[in-house]
Amino acid sequence: MERIDYDEIYSRYHDKVLYYIKGKVSVTEDAEDICSDVFTKIYENRDRYDEGLAGISTWIYRIARNAVIDHYRTQKPSDELSEELASIEDIEGNLLKKEVLEELGEALKKLSEKDRAIIVYRYYDGLSLKEVAEKLDISYSGCKLRHTNALASLRKCLEAGYDKG
């Protein structure tokens, strides 16, 4: 087993690994943290690498893939609908949660059945947009578009409700 040169590995693979992780994790800071963890693991385990089992790039990407999986495994599910929708609470200050939920329920009723399903699956059931698309048997891009439009419609309904009050 040949000893690997960590500095060479870092300079050769850092940008590639970061690009790979950014493709899997939407928050840039999280991707950078995960990338840093990957190279820490590579450094700590460099003596365990066995070129007879896998090529160096395969070994590195397996570590990166596992780090991304660990990131999502340890991440708490978010109860927020989106930054846009969450900021609606600031329109009238701190409204009682019950009132906001009632308004949201009324706004959801104004959406089409499919758009309402997208919102419920995404935020209540915690499914990814890809999973929602599969569940509703629509394309991923179509699901993304409907999701964006549904959030915009909800926002308009909620803002209209606040304007009345």
* Residue 78 pLDDT exceeds 60: no
Q: Domain 83-164, CATH 1.20.870.10 — does that match? A: no
pLDDT per residue over 99-152, tens digit each? 656 777 788 888 888 988 888 888 878 889 999 999 999 999 999 999 999 888
CA distances from residue 106 to 91, 98, 112, 163, 165 in whole angstroms, order as listed: 18, 12, 13, 15, 15
Rounded to 5°, angle at Cα 104 from 98 and 109: 130
152-161 pLDDT, tens digit per residue, is 888 887 777 6
Q: Which of 62-71, 77-86, 87-96, 153-162 has the highest mean pLDDT?
A: 62-71
Q: Does domain 6-74 have CATH number 1.10.150.120?
A: no
Cα–Cα distance between 39 and 148 in angstroms, integer? Answer: 36
The domain spans of the chain are: 6-74, 83-164
Residue 96 pLDDT > 50: no
At residue 99, the pLDDT reads: 60
Do 83-164 and 6-74 have the same topology in CATH?
no
Tell me, letter by letter, the H, E, C secondary structure of the chain: CCCCCHHHHHHHHHHHHHHHHHHHCCCHHHHHHHHHHHHHHHHHCHHHCCCCCCCHHHHHHHHHHHHHHHHHHHCCCCCCCCHHHHHHHHCCCCCCHHHHHHHHHHHHHCCCHHHHHHHHHHHHCCCCHHHHHHHHCCCHHHHHHHHHHHHHHHHHHHHHHHHHC
pTM (predicted TM-score): 0.45
